Amino acid sequence: MSIVGINQEKCSKCKLCLQECRRSPFYVMENGDIGFNEKVLPCIMCGHCIAICPENAILTKDMDDIDTFAGIDSPETLIDYDDLFKLLRVKRSIRRYKNKKVPKEIINKVFEAMRYAPSGANNRTWRYLIISDQEKLSKLSTEVIKTNYLYMGFESGEKAIEYYQSIKRDPIFFGAPHLIVLYYETVQKSMTLLGLRANDVGIALTYGMLAAETLGLGTCWMGGLQGSIAANRGILDILEIKGHVLGAFILGLPAVKYRRTTPRSPLKIKGLDEL
Ligand SMILES: Cc1cc2nc3c(=O)[nH]c(=O)nc-3n(C[C@H](O)[C@H](O)[C@H](O)COP(=O)(O)O)c2cc1C
């Protein structure tokens, strides 16, 4: 996937690409044509030049998803604020699921939504893993309980497991048929970079969860799984991955309906009153 130059026959020399690009590989050549020098600074492949070019003159390689549709130049016409706000308010973390897998093509829509999340410096090197094997989910759940039993209010992991078996409830994945994990394969020693990558993943995950909501699916963020990995590396072995888990959520058909929104604490905003 790369930008390989400019189609000079199409280019109207409007210089919008030059103004838009944050890295400046675009330049005006002696004859007035616009050039693209990929060696000046590495292109981060954000695609803004492609999106803004009125003549569609940016030459690309291996980019199959460039699109245009009504409303692309006025996003405010695509979704009404009130509708989006309602969706944000009704979206709940779901902890009861139907015993039924979600069709693959629907799950793919959730993944596709995550593909379009922004990320720092357009770095999208995280990977995805989906686990739909109940036995594996059950093993993972046991490991998380064993690590988090104190926080869950038990004296020991064994007591916690025994209790949840007796009430036939999985307190970690809640019987969801799927677990989606977002992770980095490389081991990152810098906590700052790791934090930034976690932000990226958090946004991708949120895109996926909101998309899932529009498809009638339920989700719940799995911070408990993520948090227990530091104390129990065996969880990575069950997941069969290396590196860092930076986000995870369960997905399935909700077996619950809500009748009203939930309360939220008031906002604390500095500076707004001065406007
Ligand atoms: C980063 C993060 C981690 C979370 N981890 C868990 C978790 O491990 N288990 C769980 O049941 N809910 C988890 N949640 C869900 C929160 O408890 C939930 O978002 C919150 O109580 C508000 O409820 P709502 O999402 O229905 O509005 C997590 C949420 C976030 C944002």
Residue of 220, 249, 257 with the most ligand 1 atoms within 8 Å of its CB, for mutation: 220
Pocket, ligand 1, Cβ cutoff 6 A: 92-93, 95, 220-224, 262
Higher pLDDT: 123 or 136? It is 136
In the predicted structure, residue 41 carries a pLDDT above the cut 80: no
Task: Identify the pLDDT of residue 25.
Answer: 87
Q: How far is the CA of 121 from the centre of ligand 1 (A)?
A: 28
How far apart CA 173 and CA 133 sit, in angstroms, is 12
> Mean pLDDT, to the nearest integer, of 65-78?
94
Task: Enumerate the domain spans of the chain.
Answer: 2-61, 81-252
What span, in angstroms and rounded, lies between the C-alpha atoms of 27 and 246? 39
Lowest model confidence (mean pLDDT) among 39-48, 108-117, 153-162, 250-259: 39-48
Point out the least confidently predicted range of 55-64, 186-195, 222-231: 186-195
Tell me, in angstroms, the distance from the centre of ligand 1 to residue 256's CA.
Answer: 16
What's this model's pTM, rounded to 2 decimal places?
0.94
Per-residue confidence band for 219, with pLDDT thresholds at 50, 70 and 90: very high
| Closest approach atom of ligand 1 to CA 222 | 8
pLDDT at 23: 78
For ligand 1, atom 26: residue with the closest CA? 92
Q: Tell me which residue of 75, 118, 106, 120 sits closest to 205, measured CA to CA.
A: 118
Ligand 1 mean position to 208 CA, how many Å? 15
Report the residue among 88, 92, 93 best suited for mutation to probe ligand 1: largest number of ligand atoms under 8 A from its CB: 93
Fold held by 2-61? Alpha-Beta Plaits (3.30.70)
Q: Do residues 257 and 181 make contact, with C-beta atoms less than 8 angstroms apart?
A: no
Kindly give the number of the ligand 1 atom that is closest to the alpha carbon of 224.
Answer: 8
Report the percent of the chain where pLDDT is more than 90: 85
CATH superfamily entry for domain 81-252? NADH Oxidase (3.40.109.10)
* Per-residue confidence (pLDDT) for residue 130, from 0 to 100: 98
Q: What is the pLDDT of residues 12-26, one digit of tens each?
A: 999 999 999 987 789
pLDDT the model gives residue 191? 85
Which of the two residues, 270 and 2, has the higher pLDDT score?
A: 270
Q: Does the structure show a pLDDT above 90 at 229?
A: yes
The residue contributing the CA closest to ligand 1 atom 21 is 93
At residue 42, the pLDDT reads 77
Ligand 1 atom closest to residue 262's alpha carbon, by position in its atom list: 27
| Structure confidence by residue, pLDDT tens digits, 95-131 | 999 999 999 999 999 999 999 999 999 988 899 999 9
Per-residue pLDDT reduced to its tens digit, 151-206? 999 999 999 999 999 999 999 999 999 999 999 988 778 888 888 899 999 999 99
Mutate to test the pocket of ligand 1, among 206, 221, 245 (most ligand atoms within 8 A of CB): 221
Question: What residue's CA is closest to ligand 1, atom 22?
Answer: 93
Percent of the chain with pLDDT over 70: 100
Average pLDDT, the chain: 94
For ligand 1, atom 17, the nearest C-alpha belongs to 93
